[in-house]
Amino acid sequence: MATATLPAAPSWDELKSAAAGTETGMKIAAEEELRAKGEGPAHVKAKLRLFGAKEEDVRLTFYRDHAGWCPYCQKVWMMIEEKKIPCRIERINMRSYGDKPDWFLKKVPSGLLPVIELDGEMMTESLVIMQVLEREFPDIPMLPEGQFERANTLLRLERQLFSDWCGLVFRPSMPGPFGGGGRKTFEETFDKVDAALGEMDGPWFLGGDTPSIVDLQYVSHIERMNASCLYWKGMNLRGQERWANIEKWFLAFEERPSYKACKSDYYTHVMDIPPQYGPGYSDSGKEVEDAQRAIDGDTTWVLPVNLSANDLEPTPDSMNASDEAARHEAAYMLTANAKAITKFACRGKGEKGAKQFGAPLADPYAVPNLNYESKVDELLRVTASLLLDGTAEPSGGKTSQDGADVAKCLAYLRDRIGVPRDMSYPAAMQLRAHLNYVMDAV
């Protein structure tokens, strides 16, 4: 394939105006206006949620992780949205990602997340928080009367599934009683979860038309199981007839605004899981190799980006408006904060921070090499232009990064695009693929 010839780069002002003028850009801008007033759909960057209440009447402040990595924060976040609880939201770094602010540590010396502050009282531990929210905000119940015994049984099963997942993914596969890699044990427990879902009408664990506390307790970890079991073990949990009830349950979640706002992608998860749980241990074989190449972007961060419900990482229509909408979302987010993003990318040829953290893609104290700022700025303007007009030609996968040094800056940025922190999964895939296209040309 011939190397692409890049077009001239418009100014950021021109690009920002063009992005704002697209249908997607106007939709995002309208949602941003609503979000500033505590209204509109659920969103990772929301700082205030009112659901029709007055701000002075808000009793709750929710402290969650900044990057959207924490599964325990995710459960509470979804519950707040499902129950429409007015709240303020503060985003705090996880320890693996950066330092926690002193003001937060004065409130919560342990630094643990999630935290709620309800009527001035601080509370930690996600399940305790969820029980308190259910008691204090009963208008939209999420633990139906008469279902307590079933709920407790299912919550114990969830802890068993979590334990079996840890044994499968975070311990090396080896024979004997002390070895990990218990695929059979994990699959059998997953069978039990699927059977429990099949006992009720509709997709939810406790029946009814909406998810319960039990569903929320399961979904954030099964979301991470989908990514990690595929990446490290070559096990695809999605779209399997054996677990048809779990698939139906996931598809029901992917229709809900509360879940669409907080769902991550497989790449983000395989980067954020080890700092929280420890390293994942890879099995050998072609299934694992193919999965890792796909999730790492070697075979998928390419143009054209074709996402579907049948992919290795399923993307149902409910979470994928169109290729154009995804491109324009990526362009809008890029142009909205262009100067800071450019400097961030220059870390790719800069110096590592004097203080390091556990997350491999987190380096908050890194020093950018601003000698590359002008060229990076130009190439990001080209990237935004291509995202807007859709004229980039079919391309290969990740660049080897052996070419121009400026490509290392673009690669640094590409590898740190997080979902949902930065943008939706379809938009992230478009931006990653377009950055690869530009990198190939330089």
Is-contact 136 80, C-beta < 8 A?
A: no
Q: Where in the chain is the domain with CATH 1.10.490.20?
A: 12-16+321-441
Q: Where in the chain is the domain with CATH 1.20.1050.10?
A: 147-296
Fold of 39-136: Glutaredoxin (3.40.30)
Q: How do beta strands 87-92 and 121-124 pair?
A: unpaired
d(CA 354, CA 346): 17
Six-digit token pair at 286?
A: 């072609």
d(CA 71, CA 77): 10
Give the model's pLDDT for residue 396. 67
Region of 242 please: left (phi>0), alpha (psi -120 to 50) or beta.
alpha
Give the model's pLDDT for residue 399. 56
d(CA 101, CA 58): 23
Residues of the chain with pLDDT under 70: 1-4, 174-181, 396-403
Q: Cα 229 vs. chain centroid, distance in angstroms?
A: 17
Model pTM above 0.85: yes
What CATH class has 147-296?
A: mainly alpha
Six-digit token pair at 439?
A: 């990198």
Give the model's pLDDT for residue 6. 87
Give the model's pLDDT for residue 403. 53
Q: Where in the chain is the domain with CATH 3.40.30.10?
A: 39-136
pLDDT digits (tens, 9 = 90+) for 153-207: 999 999 999 999 999 999 887 655 444 558 999 999 999 999 999 999 999 999 9
Six-digit token pair at 418?
A: 């997080």
Give the model's pLDDT for residue 2. 43
Give the model's pLDDT for residue 360. 86
Fold of 12-16+321-441: Globin-like (1.10.490)
